[in-house]
Structure 1
Amino acid sequence: MPHTSKRSGRRTAPLLAAAAVVAASACLVSPAGAATGSATGAPKLWATQLQFDDNGTPWSVAQFQAIKAKGMNSVEINMPWTQIEPSKGTFDFSELDTELANATAAGIRIVPIFWQAGWRGSPAAWITDTETTSTGGTGIAPPWWNLTEQQDYFDYVTATVAHITHNPGYGGSILNYGRLDAQWSDNGDGGWATADIDYFHQHWLPQTYRTIARFNSANGTAYTSFDQVPAAAPGQPLAGVYQDFRQWSVLDTYDRLTAAVRKVSSGPLYYYFGGHISNAPDIGNLPDVFFTLARKYNLTIIEDAAQSPGLTLTFGSLANAYHVKLAQEWTAPVDAEMPAQAVQWISNYGMGLPYGGGEDFFIHDGTSKDVIAYPIYTAALSQLQGLKGSYPQQPVAVYFDYSKAWGNPDGGSLSNVENEITALWSRHQSGFTVVTSDEVKNHAVDLGKFRAVLPLNGEDANVTAYQKSGGTVLTNGDQLTQYAPAYADLSSAHALQVVPTTASDHRSAQLVLAEINPYFRYDGAVVLHPAGLNLAAGRYHAVDAATGKALPQVAEPDGGACVPLSLATATLAEWKLLPGPAPAGTPVPASCSTTAGGATTIGATADSNDGSSGVVFQNVGATGAGADGNLTTTTIGGQSAYQTWTTAQTGVGSANAYLQLDPGSAVARAATVTLTVTYWSQAGQGFTAQYDATDNPYQNGPTVTGSGSGSWQTATLTLTGAQFDEAQNLQADLRLAATDPSLPLYIHSVQLSTGDQ
């Protein structure tokens, strides 16, 4: 018989957080050191995600044992609200209890993932109303500020956690609110339901501004009551005010939800962070909000999309600043790119040390991820679990302003910040710190402690104050090396990445090397620099971490070592840098250099796009809606071609053919490149070559119009000032942007060459 329980019908209305009374964007963080708990005591999460059950059958002891045998200590299960609470106030924990018992017998823990909406079985079937989008459409999740239904969700979560918190198979809970882990996006989720707008008018505005006169003074308006203030949609006047309210709502709701759970359980808790930095103005996913609350309530942050170095470097820096544990998760791409991206995600783990909180594989579900990526993950677990020390941060900050996400129309653009951080790190392989404007506002970090600051999206008041106090403000990424020495030099960035962790005594370092390019292998060398690794001065040598055997190497003048390396795509390696010279008899290569030449002419055609000629067309065969780079293989004029999707197919206002270059080629390192394109000339259509250049990943090159005669033609263009860092969408180096995205653009081939033929 199902175990059921009744909950109290008593309700408590949500209260505005005290900090928000002072300012709309105020955060709840206390100065560093004043947190209510330390994250260091929470167990690390070595896990995979599962559906709630195995197609209607509880996960068995044998299935859990098989997962434990792979090196994991936990499984995350997606909770179906409607099954756990089939009618309001009545709970059925029977299947959950069975799975907890099976997990206990297998020696593994279950971490329930609570979804308010978006995953199968959530929301509960008896929650029937939905959000409203900014254009008046029907959203997906329940209205955020329907206080009755919000309390229903809180009660479901707290009742479930209270029931299982002392079970030996319980490993903590992941708390979400809104649709999935996207919080409060307007991309189909909503935010303009009547309940939301009522809360905006009746609670947030008066408690933020106190009087309508103060609101008018702050915003240059002449309203006579708060009810007249519009819940402005993006692009409308006062949209920033409503955006500020939406971001505050995420902070306030997660704060109260977590406080409610903490009243019934002292067990481990986690937040998912979904999305990317560029999503912040749309999704309520400000990292500092979650780190603030994680420090307050002793939670671990699980960073989705941790395959992104730019995002993971940011989160690793935030984990250090807020003293919060960071676990990492990865959402798999298309099959062709999956192995390389899997090893990139795995190798990024060291960026979060010493606050590493484990890894989570999304999702063990029998699809191609299980065949391709799951074995890569499980094979690397022991390696990750053995990492110790800290990522070697340097006292140099890469800084960006997050205020646009709070509704500041003058805030810096966030559209390419994450890619820029990735490109800087890939090019320089140095341990700079990433700092956000929210981090400074929350007193989690002081810019004054940094020797230099590189602003990525404009100079805000924080940067101005830092400069006025005598700080050094950098103007381009190449200046970083003057203040943050590289810990590794590579023959070709974007094919290999090195993520180090340095021992606490600064006498040794572990290095995870990952060949991260799905198309082009790494052939060259790696030069390791003790200063960039925060190691004590002296002589060091490199060894294979698995065997302890010294690698063939050449001693470097700074005490480091140059090690030749040939690594196939999607491959991991682990080295150690140990004190002292290499043992006698260690092979010394005749030459070891990271400045090898590489091909001076590269290309690709619609007949051959496997990377063997040095260029790859990206997203061939992709079918994702909302993407600006989908390509379809076709034939026109008797010739094979790649055809861009039109705006009618994608729903977006641009259409592009994205290209990635072999990072080991001489072309990828050249500043001036000749580009030859064979294209189908048709009336009204042409293209612009937009390429990755210094400080502009979408530098406009020449525009090609063609004769419009309905024939194959060839255009030869010169690109100057190039800096190919894969900083465009899809990790591309350049794109051919269709002049008229409502028409298809047909490309047969591209060729790029340097002047050194």
Structure 2
Amino acid sequence: MQSHTGNTEHRAERRTWRHDGIAFGCDYNPEQWDPEVWPEDVRLMREAGVDLVAINIFGWSQINPRKGTFDFTALDAVMGLLAEAGIRVNLGTATASPPPWLSTLHPEILPVADDGTTRYPGGRQAWCPSSPVFRRYALALVEQVAERYGSHPNVELWHVSNELGCHNALCHCAESTASFRRWLEQRYGTIAELNRAWGTSFWSQRYDDWAEILTPMRNLSTRNPGQVLDFHRFSSDELLGYYRAEAEVIRARSAAPITTNFMVTAHIRNLDYFSWASEMDVVANDHYLDNRLADPTTELAFAADLTRGIAGGEPWILMETSTSAVNWQPHNIAKARGEMTRNAVQHIARGADGICFFQWRASAQGSEKFHSALLPHAGTDSDVWREVVDLGGLIGRLDEVTGTRVAADTAVLFSWDAWWATDADNRPSHAVEYLEQVHAAYAALRATGATIDVVHPGADLSGYKIVVVPALYSVTDEAAANLDAFVAAGGTTLVTFYSGIVDEYDRVRLGGYPGAFAELLGIRVQEFAPLGPDDEVRLASGARARLWSEHLALTTAEAVDTFVDGPAAGIPAVTRNAHGEGSAWYLATRPDAADYRSLVARIADEAGVTPPAGAGADLELVRRTGDGRSYLFAVNHGAEPVVVDGVGFDLVTSTTVDGDVTVPAFGIRIIREEAA
């Protein structure tokens, strides 16, 4: 997929990542420990079954302690210890966090927030993505690392920077402003076209010269939404350009595959990973259970399914996760016994061919000293360590699963553009947030037992029976036509409220909502009627709903359910339209969870989606298949044992199964299925 500029830059030929089975790995930061500890670390890694270690992620100040000085003595020693132990290396470029000497010499590399204030060193990622000075020093470091280890036989994978854009994606300094102008000129060609795209006739914002354009700094009112949207696109592309620069240095010196760790998670939205995917030799993601959410387990499943969608259905790597508590949430909840294993298996079930943790040994100092690790502060005499060893053994038994793919006949459409555009300064209801609506639709589908691909609106939809489109506020003509063709060819779609409203420039599609999807859905909405934060409405079916209603009229659709009360009383709330050979459903409100699930189950049943018997919110049943192999993953999140149908060999218990298979409370089973 192209970047947002439409620039079809040459992409290097993709390299294949190969690992002997499912990788079981971790980040290792030996610079935090006395060298006398390193041999013991490596011995314990072998005991746990760790076979892939990410090192030199934050090593800049160690290997480049001052300008012009490079010292690889310590890194050479660690590389040697790992090689001797047969543990492969995911080698970082060390550029994630510049050392203090660099920002002291060049304070101009520091990022600037939208209030115009500089952000200073003392944490991490204290650099501007557009800074040519930073890039010059960083690429010089990458060149040194790649020259030294480019042909090292133990380097399995290159790890560019770390969590790019986690903290510094949106910079407003002078360099960023100049780069933003260049990006806009490449995108629009003329000032007149930019003025049209941004609607600058509003509030007398018309530009006459590129030099007049700033980044969307904080101001006294609200910002131009087109400008804000393009700044998000620019910022994603700018960091992608930085990734390419590092990767180019590595490719000239090493044949090993290259990646970086994405952050497909509930609280990071800065980068459009669909536009990044083709640059990765293998897609990798960091994910941590987010206990700030009402249903963190479902969010984990969603993030894994989205990561697989970004990877085009191919296997991917979980580059970071936690054994137990993290350190950055308001309440850092420790995982219950067995939860780490269930979480890891959830990711593998959804296509991960590698499970890696942050980090190997829990830090004694620094900002992450209370972040859990494979080797906790309590040492090896701990429940966490014992579960780590057990998990390593299980992953070793799953090696045969490598390379298989997840089978799904249901899809949810997801778009970073829609996320950025929806969560704008001014909108009909601030209670309606994009990701929350996506999560609600996904949770309803997951509760039916469906296996779900989360894909881009422009993806090939032909292999699905049902496609759910939650709150796709911003959509291109091409993506709208893609969904239309899917339904016309016999597919079923469910489109939810606040979809199809604007084009890619955040320009309202006139003539009545839902704009791009009005003909497909056979409806016309005259006006939104959002509900108050505490309001609830009833539907004729008995369902209850919140957040939203609207003044909807049928054109070719039929009413399936109707608002009984509220501002849209007597008006259809759920509609169905025959379109070509398929069906297009519309949902004009947000049902409560149980009612949402019932509606989705009805639609899925009509579409011929048949989830595995017993699958649902508490029992995940997911298949990975390929080359004549089939594996059924059963993950029980409930407090009671459940029985599933399985014939074959259970890789968890190493026993043959024939018929009823008991999955213990909070337990897992992974069955190599016999051919029918």
If the length of structure 2 is used for normalisation, what is the TM-score?
0.67
Give the deviation of 1:486 after TM superposition: 0.9
Closer, same or farther in 2 for the Cα pair 1:257/1:526, shift >3 Å?
same
Whether the aligned pair in 1 keeps the contact of 2:451 and 2:622 (CA below 8 Å) is no
Give the deviation of 1:433 after TM superposition: 2.1
Higher helix share: 2
**1:42-83 CA-partner distances (Å, limit 9, x unpaired):** 666421212133524265334313212321222222332122
SS at match of 1:91: coil
Give the deviation of 1:245 after TM superposition: 1.5
Q: Which residue of 2 aligns with 1:419?
A: 439
Q: Which runs of 4+ in 1 moved over 6 A?
A: 119-125, 408-412
Matched, 1:456 2:470: yes
Matched, 1:232 2:236: no
Matched, 1:480 2:604: yes
Give the deviation of 1:204 after TM superposition: 1.6
Q: Which residue of 2 aligns with 1:376?
A: 387
Residues in 1 aligned to 2:132 and 2:214: alpha-carbon distance in whole angstroms: 21
**1:620-650 CA-partner distances (Å, limit 9, x unpaired):** xxxxxxxxxxxxxxxxxxxxxxxxxxxxxxx
Give the deviation of 1:226 after TM superposition: 0.8
Whether the aligned pair in 2 keeps the contact of 1:109 and 1:171 (CA below 8 Å) is yes
Give the deviation of 1:272 after TM superposition: 0.6
Residues in 2 aligned to 1:405 and 1:526: alpha-carbon distance in whole angstroms: 40
Amino acid in structure 1 at the alignment position of 2:617: A
Matched, 1:396 2:373: no
Please point out which of 62, 75, 83 is paired with 2:53: 75
Residues in 1 aligned to 2:179 and 2:626: alpha-carbon distance in whole angstroms: 51
Whether the aligned pair in 2 keeps the contact of 1:61 and 1:103 (CA below 8 Å) is no
Residues in 1 aligned to 2:414 and 2:140: alpha-carbon distance in whole angstroms: 38
Closer, same or farther in 2 for the Cα pair 1:500/1:328, shift >3 Å?
farther
Map 1:312-351 → 2, pairs under 5 A: 312-321=304-313, 323=314, 325-331=316-322, 332-333=324-325, 334-339=332-337, 341-351=339-349
Higher relative contact order (CA 8 A, sep 6+): 2
Q: Which residue of 2 aligns with 1:219?
A: 198
Residues in 2 aligned to 1:119 and 1:497: alpha-carbon distance in whole angstroms: 43
Q: Which residue of 1 aligns with 2:557?
A: none
Residues in 1 aligned to 2:188 and 2:310: alpha-carbon distance in whole angstroms: 30
Whether the aligned pair in 2 keeps the contact of 1:172 and 1:270 (CA below 8 Å) is yes
Q: Which residue of 1 aligns with 2:674?
A: 578
Amino acid in structure 1 at the alignment position of 2:250: V
Residues in 2 aligned to 1:436 and 1:79: alpha-carbon distance in whole angstroms: 33
SS at match of 1:258: helix
Whether the aligned pair in 1 keeps the contact of 2:23 and 2:355 (CA below 8 Å) is yes
Residues in 1 aligned to 2:493 and 2:344: alpha-carbon distance in whole angstroms: 33
**1:325-380 CA-partner distances (Å, limit 9, x unpaired):** 43443134335335454123211233443xx4311111122365434544323312
Residues in 2 aligned to 1:526 and 1:328: alpha-carbon distance in whole angstroms: 32
Please point out which of 44, 58, 61 is paired with 1:66: 44
Residues in 2 aligned to 1:401 and 1:170: alpha-carbon distance in whole angstroms: 34
Matched, 1:52 2:30: yes
Residues in 2 aligned to 1:46 and 1:182: alpha-carbon distance in whole angstroms: 23
Q: Which residue of 1 aligns with 2:301?
A: 309
SS at match of 2:118: coil
Closer, same or farther in 2 for the Cα pair 1:212/1:184, shift >3 Å?
farther
Matched, 1:39 2:28: no
Amino acid in structure 1 at the alignment position of 2:284: I
Residues in 1 aligned to 2:389 and 2:103: alpha-carbon distance in whole angstroms: 34
Q: Which residue of 1 aligns with 2:358?
A: 362
Residues in 2 aligned to 1:124 and 1:64: alpha-carbon distance in whole angstroms: 34
Amino acid in structure 2 at the alignment position of 1:511: L
Higher strand share: 1
Whether the aligned pair in 1 keeps the contact of 2:636 and 2:642 (CA below 8 Å) is no
Q: 89-98 or 108-117: which moved more?
A: 108-117
Closer, same or farther in 2 for the Cα pair 1:165/1:46, shift >3 Å?
farther
Instruction: Show structure 2 runs of 5+ residues with no match.
Output: 121-125, 201-205, 290-296, 326-331, 363-369, 377-381, 495-584, 586-598
Closer, same or farther in 2 for the Cα pair 1:139/1:124, shift >3 Å?
closer
Matched, 1:148 2:148: no
Whether the aligned pair in 2 keeps the contact of 1:244 and 1:407 (CA below 8 Å) is no
Residues in 2 aligned to 1:45 and 1:342: alpha-carbon distance in whole angstroms: 16
SS at match of 2:27: strand
Q: Which residue of 2 aligns with 1:525?
A: 642
Map 1:630-641 → 2, pairs under 5 A: none
Q: Which residue of 2 aligns with 1:256?
A: 245
% identical aligned pairs: 16
Closer, same or farther in 2 for the Cα pair 1:193/1:58, shift >3 Å?
farther
Amino acid in structure 1 at the alignment position of 2:307: F
How many residues are paired up? 507
Matched, 1:183 2:300: no
Closer, same or farther in 2 for the Cα pair 1:224/1:395, shift >3 Å?
same
Q: Which residue of 1 aligns with 2:631?
A: 510
**1:563-582 CA-partner distances (Å, limit 9, x unpaired):** 45442x4x4443444357xx
SS at match of 1:489: coil
Closer, same or farther in 2 for the Cα pair 1:472/1:81, shift >3 Å?
same
Matched, 1:265 2:388: no
Whether the aligned pair in 1 keeps the contact of 2:157 and 2:259 (CA below 8 Å) is yes
Residues in 2 aligned to 1:463 and 1:351: alpha-carbon distance in whole angstroms: 31
Whether the aligned pair in 1 keeps the contact of 2:350 and 2:406 (CA below 8 Å) is no
Q: Which residue of 2 aligns with 1:9?
A: none
Q: Which residue of 2 aligns with 1:7?
A: none
Whether the aligned pair in 2 keeps the contact of 1:132 and 1:138 (CA below 8 Å) is yes
Residues in 2 aligned to 1:362 and 1:342: alpha-carbon distance in whole angstroms: 13
Matched, 1:167 2:273: no
Closer, same or farther in 2 for the Cα pair 1:498/1:420, shift >3 Å?
same
SS at match of 1:336: coil
Amino acid in structure 2 at the alignment position of 1:236: R
Residues in 2 aligned to 1:39 and 1:375: alpha-carbon distance in whole angstroms: 34
Residues in 1 aligned to 2:649 and 2:188: alpha-carbon distance in whole angstroms: 62
Please point out which of 460, 467, 471 is paired with 2:484: 467
Matched, 1:289 2:300: no
SS at match of 1:142: coil
Give the deviation of 1:37 after TM superposition: 2.5
SS at match of 2:311: helix
SS at match of 1:53: helix
Residues in 1 aligned to 2:173 and 2:155: alpha-carbon distance in whole angstroms: 36
Map 1:528-677 → 2, pairs under 5 A: 528=645, 541=647, 544-546=650-652, 549=655, 561-567=659-665, 569=666, 571-578=667-674
Structure ID, larger Rg: 1
Amino acid in structure 2 at the alignment position of 1:159: Q
Whether the aligned pair in 1 keeps the contact of 2:48 and 2:388 (CA below 8 Å) is no
SS at match of 2:31: coil
Residues in 2 aligned to 1:342 and 1:417: alpha-carbon distance in whole angstroms: 27
Whether the aligned pair in 1 keeps the contact of 2:158 and 2:259 (CA below 8 Å) is yes
Q: Which residue of 1 aligns with 2:183?
A: 204
Whether the aligned pair in 2 keeps the contact of 1:27 and 1:292 (CA below 8 Å) is no
Instruction: Show structure 1 runs of 5+ residues with no match.
Output: 1-16, 529-539, 554-560, 581-757
Q: Which residue of 2 aligns with 1:109?
A: 88
Closer, same or farther in 2 for the Cα pair 1:546/1:465, shift >3 Å?
closer
Give the deviation of 1:124 after TM superposition: 7.2
Whether the aligned pair in 2 keeps the contact of 1:455 and 1:463 (CA below 8 Å) is no
Computed over aligned residues only, the root mean square deviation of the Cα atoms, in angstroms, reads: 3.5
Whether the aligned pair in 2 keeps the contact of 1:304 and 1:329 (CA below 8 Å) is yes
**1:129-174 CA-partner distances (Å, limit 9, x unpaired):** 4111112233251122110211211211221122112234434321
Residues in 1 aligned to 2:492 and 2:445: alpha-carbon distance in whole angstroms: 20
Residues in 2 aligned to 1:542 and 1:183: alpha-carbon distance in whole angstroms: 45
Residues in 2 aligned to 1:550 and 1:142: alpha-carbon distance in whole angstroms: 55
Closer, same or farther in 2 for the Cα pair 1:398/1:123, shift >3 Å?
farther
Residues in 1 aligned to 2:650 and 2:315: alpha-carbon distance in whole angstroms: 31
Whether the aligned pair in 2 keeps the contact of 1:343 and 1:515 (CA below 8 Å) is no
